[in-house]
Chain A
Amino acid sequence: KQEVTQIPAALSVPEGENLVLNCSFTDSAIYNLQWFRQDPGKGLTSLLLIQSSQREQTSGRLNASLDKSSGRSTLYIAASQPGDSATYLCASLGMYSGGGADGLTFGKGTHLIIQP
């Protein structure tokens, strides 16, 4: 059964810093790896999706990488801003042994606070 772990559980940094959030997964048989942002009362927002055949994806100040062989993904946030404060979730879309898509398996998240 897939297990997704996120480190650190919480992070507080001053505004303007670059930071890295880490995600590891135990089963490399995945369709894709996704990063979500969770804000209280607003559900989840998809940030980046990396296909299993890709190495990285970029959107604005965000860059996510994927290394299937080592079971790791990182989310890099450049020039952090107070508006980036949220919980960041990593999730893998699994694959049934027969080849069909399975459900999303989430990590517990990294609670990020950007200090003004």
Chain B
Amino acid sequence: SAVISQKPSRDICQRGTSLTIQCQVDSQVTMMFWYRQQPGQSLTLIATANQGSEATYESGFVIDKFPISRPNLTFSTLTVSNMSPEDSSIYLCSVEVWGAETQYFGPGTRLLVL
């Protein structure tokens, strides 16, 4: 298994600003993912964070809006850029551990954009 922490746990931000969310894992993992859960909606995969290279984005998500870093095997950041109220969501980090077929999720970051 893996223990995942996210910072911040919640934030209230002003329109037009940017927020960087951190994801820290207690062990080295093969894959790290970022999801978004908008109010009343299912979790949607934003991108796969690749160690040492550019993230792989899903359809509808672009690097300029959601830049992602993964400098090593235990840490990743997601930035929500030029925020609007539509970006108000829970953002979750998840990891896949070598040999496990399930993903482990962080507690999420609850973001409200005014």
- Determine chain A's interface SS by DSSP, over half rule: strand
Q: Which residue of A lies closest to B110 (CB)?
A: A41
Indicate if the CB atoms of A34 and B102 lie closer than 8 Å. yes
Once the chains bind, are B108 and A43 in contact (CB under 8 Å)?
yes
Say whether chain B's binding surface is mostly helix, strand, loop, or mixed: strand
Closest chain A residue, CB of each to CB of B33: A103
Q: Mark A45-68, 1 if CB is under 8 A from B, else 0.
A: 110010100000000000000000
Shortest beta-carbon distance, B89 to chain A, in Å? 14
CB closest chain-A residue, reference B4: A43
A44 to B92, CA, bound (A): 9
Q: Does A108 touch B at the CB level, under 8 Å?
A: yes
Q: Which of A89-116 contact B (CB under 8 A)?
A: 89, 91, 93, 103-109
Given contacts A44-B92, A103-B33, A103-B48, contact A89 B43 (CB under 8 A): yes
* Residues of B within 8 A of A (CB-CB), count: 22
Task: Decide if A49 touches B108 in the complex (CB within 8 Å).
Answer: no
Q: Which bracket fits the contact residues of A?
A: 20 to 34
Complex contact B102–A49 (CB within 8 A):
yes
State whether the Cβ of B52 lies closer than 8 Å to any Cβ in chain A.
no
CB pair B106–A108 under 8 Å, yes or no, is no
Chain B residues with Cβ under 8 A from A32's Cβ?
A: 101
Other 4 A-B pairs with CB < 8 A, given A46-B102, A103-B48 = A4-B42, A43-B106, A91-B43, A108-B41
* 7 pairs, A vs B, C-beta closer than 8 Å: A41-B107, A41-B110, A103-B58, A104-B43, A106-B43, A106-B44, A108-B40
